[in-house]
Amino acid sequence: MSFTKQPVVDKGSVQSESTSERALAEQWLDKLNVALHSGSQSSVAALFAHESHWRDLLAFTWSITPTPGAAAIAALMVAKQGDTKACGFTLAEGRTPPRRVTRAGINVIEALFQFETGVGRCFGVLRLLADDPARAFQIMTSLHELKGFEEKIGKQRPTGAAYSRNFGGTNWKDQRTAGQEYNDREPTVLIAGGGQAGLSLAATLGLIGVDALVVDKLPRVGDCWRTRYHSLALHNNTEFNHLPYLPYPPNWPTYLPKDMLADWFEAYAWAMEINFWTSTELVKGDYDATAGRWSATVRKADGSERTLHPKHLVFANGLVGAPSKPDFPGLQDFTGDVVHTAEFTNGAKWRGKKALILGTGTSAHDVAHDLYAYDIDATLVQRGPTTVVSINPSAKLIYGIYEGVPLDDGDLLASTNTLPVVRKNLQLLTARMVEQDRKMIDGLIARGFKWSMGDDNAGHQMLIRRRYGGYFLDGGCAQLIIDGKIGIMPFDQIDRFVANGALLKDGKVKPADLIVLGTGFVKQEVMVEKMLGEAIARKVGPIWGVAPDGEMNNMWRRTPHEGLWFVGGSFSNCRTYSRYVAMQIKAIEEGILPGGAS
- What digits encode the pLDDT tens for the residues 363-379? 999 999 999 999 999 99
Residue 437, pLDDT above cutoff 60: yes
On whether residue 158 sits in a domain, the answer given is: no
Of 519, 546, 565, the residue at which a domain comes to its end is: 519
- Name residues whose C-beta falls within 8 Å of residue 465's C-beta, 6 or more positions apart in sequence: 422, 545, 546, 552
CATH number at residue 139: 3.10.450.50
For residue 528, pLDDT over 50 is answered with yes
Q: Examine the domain organization and report whether 363 and 492 are in the same domain.
A: yes
Please indicate, yes or no, if residue 480 is contained in any of the structural domains: yes
Q: Give the pLDDT mean for 12-28.
A: 71
Cα–chain-centroid distance for residue 195? 11
Q: Are residues 511 and 527 in the same domain?
A: no
Distance in angstroms (rounded) separating the CA atoms of residues 357 and 336:
13
**Which of 112, 2, 117 is closest to 61 using CA atoms?**
117
The answer to the question of residue 598 being in a domain is no
Least confident of 154-158, 292-296, 370-374, 509-513: 154-158
Residue 170 clears pLDDT 70, i.e. is over it: yes
In a domain, 47, yes or no: yes
Of 489, 519, 549, the last residue of a domain is 519
> What average pLDDT does this structure show over 300-324?
92
Q: Which of 3-17, 184-198, 221-235, 523-537 has the lowest mean pLDDT?
A: 3-17
pLDDT of 9 higher than 50 = no
Range of the domain at 380: 329-519
Quick one: 200 and 134 in the same domain? no
Please write the tens of the pLDDT for every residue from 247-305. Answer: 999 999 999 999 999 999 999 999 999 999 999 999 999 999 999 999 999 999 999 99
* Same domain for 350 and 453: yes
pLDDT digits (tens, 9 = 90+) for 93-106: 999 999 999 999 99
| Judgement on whether residues 334 and 448 belong to the same structural domain of the protein | yes
CA angle at 236 for the pair 234 and 239, rounded to the nearest 5°: 105
Is 160 among the domain residues? no
Percentage of the chain modeled with pLDDT above 90: 89
Mean pLDDT over 169-179 rounds to 92
pLDDT tens-digit profile of 189-247? 999 999 999 999 999 999 999 999 999 999 999 999 999 999 999 989 999 999 999 99
Same domain, 513 and 528: no
Query: Which residue type does 53 have?
Result: H
Number of H helices, E strands in the chain: 16, 27
528 and 513 belong to one structural domain = no
Say whether both 212 and 288 belong to one domain. yes
CATH code, domain with 514: 3.50.50.60
Q: Assess if residue 157 is contained within a domain.
A: no
> Cα torsion for 421, 427, 429, 430, to the nearest 10°?
150
Judgement on whether residues 336 and 225 belong to the same structural domain of the protein: no
Are 126 and 42 within one domain? Answer: yes
Q: Is residue 159 assigned to a domain?
A: no
pLDDT band at 165 (very low <50, low <70, confident <90, very high): confident
Query: If you ran DSSP here, which 8-state letter would residue 233 be given?
Result: B
C-alpha–C-alpha distance, residues 248 and 317, integer Å: 23
Q: Are residues 117 and 201 in the same domain?
A: no
Q: What is the distance between the alpha carbons of residues 222 and 220, in angstroms, rounded to a whole number?
A: 6
State mean pLDDT over 131-145.
Answer: 98
Q: Provide the number of structural domains found in the chain.
A: 3
* Residue 32, domain member (yes or no): yes
Nearest to 48 by CA among 38, 35, 63: 35
Reported as a single tens digit per residue, the pLDDT across 344-368 is 999 999 999 999 999 999 999 999 9
pLDDT band at residue 411, thresholds of 50, 70 and 90? Answer: very high
Query: pTM of the prediction?
Result: 0.93
Q: What is the mean pLDDT of residues 502-530?
A: 95
Specify the pLDDT at position 597: 77
Indicate the residue among 475, 501, 519 that finishes a domain: 519
- The mean pLDDT value for 159-185 works out to 88
pLDDT of residue 11: 32
Give the pLDDT band of residue 504 (cuts 50, 70, 90). very high
* Side chain identity, residue 59: A
Give the pLDDT band (50/70/90) at residue 468.
confident
Same domain, 118 and 230: no
Q: For position 490, what pLDDT does the model report?
A: 97
pLDDT at 10 over 50: no
Lowest-confidence range among 14-18, 45-49, 237-241, 411-415? 14-18
Does the pLDDT at position 62 exceed 60?
A: yes
- Please determine, for residue 8, whether its predicted confidence score (pLDDT) is greater than 90: no
pLDDT recorded at residue 14: 36
- Residue 460 dihedral angles phi and psi, to the nearest 5°: -70, -30
Q: If you average pLDDT over residues 521-525, what whole number do you get?
A: 88
